[in-house]
Amino acid sequence: MIKTLYLPCYVLKFNSAKIEGHYLSKSKGTKMELTLTQPDDWHLHLRDGSLLDAVLPHSASHFGRAIVMPNLRPPVTTTSAAVAYRESITRALPASSNFTPLMTLYLTDSTKPDEIKLARQSGAVFAVKLYPAGATTNSQDGVTDLLGKCLPVLEEMVKQDIPLLVHGEVTDAAVDIFDREKVFIETVLQPLIHKLPQLKIVMEHITTSDAVRFVESSKEGFIAATVTPQHLLLNRNSIFQGGLQPHNYCLPVLKRETHRQAIVAAVTSGSKKFFLGTDSAPHEKRRKECPCGCAGIYNAPVALSLYAKVFEEAGALDKLEAFTSFNGPDFYGLPRNKSKITLKKNPWVVPESFSFAFGEIIPMFAGKTLEWQLLL
């Protein structure tokens, strides 16, 4: 018989006695279930064309909403392009899906304040994404000098209450790749919040203890961060373990173990400033396994299992639901989802690859066994 353990934020089911209170470890032969408010993904790359068709079902079956990144070719720089992109996502959705894409604009040196007004009026655009020019995939049209070139746009974003989502790395080739996030905080973010303290900022996919400290010491409700499964579970050794591992290469690049530990401590602390953003970034296998491989980890099919693993290993499963389902919508001023999902302790093997007419996509943790499985 399956019985249920009720906790403040979630429900665990055991096939043993009903217990109220805090999380108890699994005893032999039990199957735990974890019921959570439907999570959202606050940082997602859905691509377009056949790649969109291939990856969308994974995100749509796990998440209620997602903040969709605008780094297409050409980038989504206008509200009308964002609305058209939203339509192509909606058309590609499985018929029964309730998934809602939340669109973003790609900031350039020439974005005009009027575009921000249009974005707000559209009801389709929820944020503006800053890619420092040259920082990552399709960022060549990004910003060269944020405060020098974009101040009027940023001021309009404050007026329209639209957050700035930040790829937080400097692009100066003289700065060591492992230091680029820290230097970005010092040379771009600190001056930015000094100049515009009312601007809402999400530091995306944080990778360092420096970023954790920056977010923790900033004003709640104005500065927050998304955190990926890879930056919670892997350190930079994973890129080189037993030979070069292109499927563990993403940007910002994985950092040393002490940084990973600082990020785990931050998200499992219960702070409202950190929330789920997978940065799931699919590239065809042949674009990863080649002389100049693309940055990006495809984690949409495994992300929820991996976040549950992190929180369980930290003894903080009671904090998981706020991270996956509350902190993000609260920051964006959106309602929390009403529906629920269930994760079950039921070991499953991640597929080695997903095959499509155009080629293959290799997921994060391909071929590995994960404990928590989403009941679909």
List b or e across 188-203, with b for residues whose CB sees 16 or more CB atoms inside 10 angstroms: bbeebbeebeebbbbb
281 contributes a contact to ligand DOR by CB under 6 A: yes
Q: Which of 58, 129, 167, 309 binds ligand DOR (CB under 6 A)?
A: 167
* Longest Cα–Cα distance in the chain: 65
11 closest CA partner among 35, 32, 42: 35
> Is the CB of 97 or the CB of 137 nearer to ligand DOR?
137
Q: Which of 35, 71, 77, 79 binds ligand DOR (CB under 6 A)?
A: 71
Annotated catalytic residue, options 13, 259, 279, 283: 279
CB of 205 to ligand DOR, least distance (A): 7
CB of 363 to ligand DOR, least distance (A): 14
279 contributes a contact to Zn ion by CB under 5 A: yes
Q: Check if 330 is active-site.
A: no
Number of chain residues interacting with ligand DOR (CB under 6 A):
11
Q: Are 155 and 113 in contact (CB under 8 A)?
A: yes
Annotated catalytic residue, options 13, 40, 45, 58: 45
Q: Check if 58 is active-site.
A: no
Annotated catalytic residue, options 13, 58, 62, 129: 129
**In angstroms, how far is the first alpha carbon of the chain from the final one?**
21
Q: Check if 3 is active-site.
A: no
Residue 250 interacts with, from ligand DOR, Zn ion, none (CB under 5-8 Å by kind): ligand DOR
Q: Which stretch binds ligand DOR (CB under 6 A): 33-41, 105-113, 154-162, 290-298?
A: 290-298
Q: Are 140 and 134 in contact (CB under 8 A)?
A: yes
Q: Which of residues 26-45 bind ligand DOR (CB under 6 A)?
A: 45
C-alpha distances out from residue 250 to 48, 59, 62, 84, 288, Å: 20, 19, 22, 28, 10
What is the DSSP track for 125-194? EEEEEE-BTTSSTT-TTSBS-HHHHHHHHHHHHHHHT-PEEE------TTS-GGGHHHHHIIIIIHHHHH
Q: Which of 116, 199, 251, 262 binds ligand DOR (CB under 6 A)?
A: 251
Residue 343 interacts with, from ligand DOR, Zn ion, none (CB under 5-8 Å by kind): none
Q: What are phi and psi of 18, to 5 degrees?
A: -75, 130
CB of 242 to Zn ion, least distance (A): 27
Alpha-carbon gap, residue 66 to 80, rounded angstroms: 19
Which three-class secondary structure state does DSSP give residue 322? helix
Q: Check if 129 is active-site.
A: yes
For binding to ligand DOR (CB under 6 A), which residues are involved?
45, 71, 136-137, 167, 250-251, 281, 294-296
Instruction: Give catalytic residues, as residue numbers.
Output: 43, 45, 129, 167, 205, 279
